[in-house]
Structure 1
Amino acid sequence: SGRPVTLPEAWKRHFLDSSQLHPLLPEGTRVLVDLGSGAGFPGLVLAILGVPQVHLIESDVRKCAFLREVARVCQAPVTVHTKRIETVTGIEADVVTARALAPLTDLFAWAHPFIGSRGKCLFLKGAALDDELTATTQCWTLDAERFDSRTDPSGTILRVSHLERA
């Protein structure tokens, strides 16, 4: 399909990609941490869809300025942290999300301080998911559920619970 992707198409794809996490959130989810928020997918979208308290963690200053402006315009309940993930402390989250950020071994290490073994992770992952899961088995124990992505034929949503260091 050699034609360029238009901005509305790209936004729709990313928004849909992010919004498909909403029905997978545990009932009563109040606090969500989105790792490496970038342009706000999926964290900002989930805030707009009604998650009451969303923390967007992004180290890029320009991206954070964008996130703050979109949050202001949409009146989304977000706190933007212009920091590296591993330097953010003191947040107890029900759910940690990430999209196209890093391999699972890194995501689990970053997510665990926010959720311990009681919270859940929702990660949008690509075709390398099986290899990434295999790579985590020496360091982590967890329960994982997979859901097919509705926007990416090779994509999977991974819902992780009971995340503990092995």
Structure 2
Amino acid sequence: MTVEVSRETQEKLERFASLLTQWNARINLVSPRDLVHLWSRHIEDSLQLASLVPQNARITDLGSGGGFPGLILAIATGLPVTLVESDQRKCAFLREAARECGATVQVVAKRIETVSLEPADVVTARALAPLERLLGWARPLLKPEGFCLFLKGAKASDELTEAQRDWHLSTEIFNSRTAEGGAIIKVCDFQRVTR
């Protein structure tokens, strides 16, 4: 494992992985061919964000799907995380996995565009949408002094260039430790460009 966690956290993550594998036979939480890479491709990828999240932060995760990165962050940090996911079956999995792993989460079964939540300190997303669209969804869900952490693939710099056409933003880029060519984009102080 590339990210160090306590033995208790490791046990919870192993329980999560077991549950996901069981549920994946019925609902598509991750691609079946990805199951052999569950730890490196999904769990460890999500864990990279834990060191970037401030203590006592409230997190909102967009498009939580199989729990990446939001539920993994809740398990690893012990922080409260709001998971926004429109698929009811995935929401059922998220609730069950959170209960089994002792994670403090609120599962919101709504489309991101329609959700109204108390603004969070940190908004996260992984493999969900282009950066430009993520910023539009995240803006109303984020405290003014908060920031976003988006896990991105090899096209991260292209997405950033595209987003800068419509947004004024401050960014910090971290190379992914689990996905070659991937990146974590930290975004703060962002406002849509007025034309």
* TM-score, normalization by structure 1: 0.91
Matched, 1:85 2:103: no
| CA distance in 2 between partners of 1:90 and 1:103 (Å) | 22
8 A contact 2:59–2:82 mirrored in 1? yes
Residue in structure 2 matching 1:40, options 64, 67, 80: 67
| CA distance in 2 between partners of 1:14 and 1:6 (Å) | 9
Unaligned runs of 5+ in 2: 1-31
Runs of 4+ in 1 over 6 A off after TM superposition: none
Could you tell me which residue of structure 2 aligns to residue 143 of structure 1? 170
Could you tell me which residue of structure 2 aligns to residue 125 of structure 1? 152
- Secondary structure at 1:94 match in 2: strand
8 A contact 1:117–1:164 mirrored in 2? no
Give the partner amino acid of 2:129: A
Could you tell me which residue of structure 2 aligns to residue 9 of structure 1? 37
Unaligned runs of 5+ in 1: none
How far the C-alpha of 1:163 sits from its partner, in A, is 1.5
User: Structure 1 vs Structure 2: percent identity of aligned residues?
Assistant: 54
Greater relative CO (CA pairs within 8 A, separation 6+): 1
* TM-score, normalization by structure 2: 0.78
After superposition, the CA RMSD in angstroms is 1.7
Give the partner amino acid of 2:57: R
Q: 1:118 to 1:132 in 2, by over 3 A?
A: same
Could you tell me which residue of structure 2 aligns to residue 158 of structure 1? 185
Give the partner amino acid of 1:24: L
Higher relative helix content: 2
| CA distance in 2 between partners of 1:116 and 1:74 (Å) | 28
